[in-house]
């Protein structure tokens, strides 16, 4: 059983390879690649307008990439759209709801749209997951914004999908509503083994639920990694500026610091133990490379704000 579990967990539920999306001269997404493993909560971060929603629409085959490939469950989304989407539940920004229908009627309607028969017990169970069982018969026009968001997630869960994609699920919510959504995401992954892909511009919330984090800005990947490693207080993200970055990067790659290099489109970035920053500087100087500056960040939030405001 343990071996089967490990194999499942290591499976890439989402595999994105070098996708780009152009709208005329605008590059909404630029050469983006990443993978999401089964059972993970994957945090997809970026400011509004960074390309998050465009990427999600490509994942769901609502729009097609200008270039690159997308696989879900090991299959091309463009070639196997219908069979793949049977395993996917999604909510993009605010859900489209009907004010004069009840929560139960919404789930029945969306199950019918998917041509699936759903038992009354399944509807009750799904509403219980999102904390709406006590309002099952109430019309949506009486719901708060937070309740509407939870109903939207219930609609995404109605067919018991393996992959759940949530685009800004806490938009407009008060602190309690945000906490409720956070608890639900944790439950879906930890207790039910779902893979959850959640996009947000709220780093502090994603930090608390995501196993893996990817930050994009202006459609480009800026940083990606395991959350606990990115937040490791013993290590810092370091940007090195030299008179010859190409030579400096080559020198770092061939030495003991090569394992700390972070993939970036531009500049030299490393994530290394704080005590080794001075040693890195010393090694570059010994190699005859003039170091113009070393900028360090020990907070992912600081780094996020830096790259999204200065990139």
% residues pLDDT > 90 (the chain): 51
Greatest alpha-carbon pair distance for the chain in Å reads: 74
Q: What pLDDT shows up at residue 309?
A: 57
CA distance 19 to 61: 13
Q: What is the CATH number of the domain that holds 240?
A: 3.30.70
Q: How confident is the model at residue 77 (pLDDT cuts 50, 70, 90)?
A: very high
Question: What is the overall mean pLDDT for the chain?
Answer: 86
The verdict on 211 and 141 lying in the same domain is: yes
The verdict on 210 and 251 lying in the same domain is: no
Q: What pLDDT shows up at residue 2?
A: 40
Q: What is the CATH number of the domain that holds 19?
A: 3.40.50.300
The verdict on 117 and 161 lying in the same domain is: yes
Average of per-residue pLDDT across 242-247: 91
Q: What pLDDT shows up at residue 189?
A: 92
Q: Which range marks the domain in which residue 240 is found?
A: 232-310
Those residues whose C-beta lies under 8 Å from the C-beta of residue 109, and which sit 6 or more positions away, are: 98, 101
Average of per-residue pLDDT across 149-166: 91
Average of per-residue pLDDT across 35-57: 92
Which of 4-13, 19-28, 90-99, 145-154 is the least confident region?
4-13
Q: Is the pLDDT of residue 228 over 90?
A: no
CA distance 148 to 66: 34
The verdict on 57 and 171 lying in the same domain is: yes
The verdict on 204 and 242 lying in the same domain is: no
Q: How confident is the model at residue 145 (pLDDT cuts 50, 70, 90)?
A: confident
Lookup: tokens for 146: 């937070």
The verdict on 104 and 52 lying in the same domain is: yes
Residues in the chain: 311
CA distance 291 to 298: 21
Q: How confident is the model at residue 87 (pLDDT cuts 50, 70, 90)?
A: very high
C-alpha of 187 from chain center: 17
Q: How confident is the model at residue 6 (pLDDT cuts 50, 70, 90)?
A: very low
pTM above 0.85, yes or no: no
The verdict on 52 and 111 lying in the same domain is: yes
Q: How confident is the model at residue 7 (pLDDT cuts 50, 70, 90)?
A: very low
Q: What pLDDT shows up at residue 30?
A: 94
The verdict on 240 and 205 lying in the same domain is: no
- Which of 226, 252, 283 is where one domain is finished? 226
The verdict on 142 and 182 lying in the same domain is: yes
Q: Is the pLDDT of residue 227 over 60?
A: yes
The verdict on 16 and 153 lying in the same domain is: yes
The verdict on 104 and 59 lying in the same domain is: yes
- Which of 207, 226, 245 is where one domain is finished? 226
Count of structural domains within the chain: 2
- Which of 226, 260, 286 is where one domain is finished? 226
CA distance 36 to 15: 7
Phi/psi for 97 (5° steps) reads -120, 160
The verdict on 90 and 216 lying in the same domain is: yes
Q: What pLDDT shows up at residue 300?
A: 64
Q: What pLDDT shows up at residue 55?
A: 96
Average of per-residue pLDDT across 22-43: 94
Most confident of 6-15, 93-102, 155-164, 197-206: 155-164
Please provide the distance, in angstroms rounded to a whole number, between the alpha carbons at the two ends of the chain.
46
């Amino acid at each position: 059983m343990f071996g089967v579990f490990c194999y499942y967990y290591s499976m890439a539920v989402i595999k994105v390879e070098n996708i780009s999306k152009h709208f005329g001269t605008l590059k909404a997404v630029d050469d983006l690649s990443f993978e999401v493993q089964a059972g993970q909560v994957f945090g997809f971060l970026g400011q509004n307008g960074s390309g998050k929603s465009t990427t999600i629409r490509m994942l769901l085959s609502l729009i097609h990439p200008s270039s690159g490939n997308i696989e879900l469950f090991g299959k091309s989304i463009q070639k196997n759209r219908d069979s793949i989407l049977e395993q996917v539940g999604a909510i993009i920004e605010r859900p489209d709801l009907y004010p004069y229908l009840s929560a139960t009627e919404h789930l029945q309607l969306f199950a019918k749209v998917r041509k699936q028969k759903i038992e009354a017990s399944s509807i009750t169970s799904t509403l219980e997951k999102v904390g709406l069982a006590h309002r099952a018969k109430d019309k949506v026009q009486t719901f708060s914004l937070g309740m509407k968001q939870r109903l939207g997630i219930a609609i995404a869960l109605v067919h018991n999908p393996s992959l759940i994609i949530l685009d800004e699920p806490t938009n407009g919510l008060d602190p309690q509503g945000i906490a409720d959504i956070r608890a639900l995401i944790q439950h879906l992954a930890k207790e039910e083994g779902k893979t959850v892909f959640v996009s947000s511009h709220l780093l502090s919330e994603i930090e608390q639920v995501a196993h893996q984090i990817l930050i994009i800005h202006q459609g480009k990947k800026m940083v990606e990694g395991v959350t606990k490693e990115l937040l490791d207080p013993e290590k810092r993200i370091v940007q090195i500026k030299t008179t010859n970055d190409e030579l400096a990067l080559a020198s770092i790659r061939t030495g003991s610091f090569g394992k700390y290099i972070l993939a970036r489109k531009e500049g030299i970035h490393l994530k290394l133990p704080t005590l080794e920053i001075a040693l890195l500087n010393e090694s570059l100087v010994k190699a005859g490379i003039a170091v113009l500056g070393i900028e360090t960040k020990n907070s992912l939030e600081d780094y996020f704000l830096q790259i999204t405001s200065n990139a």
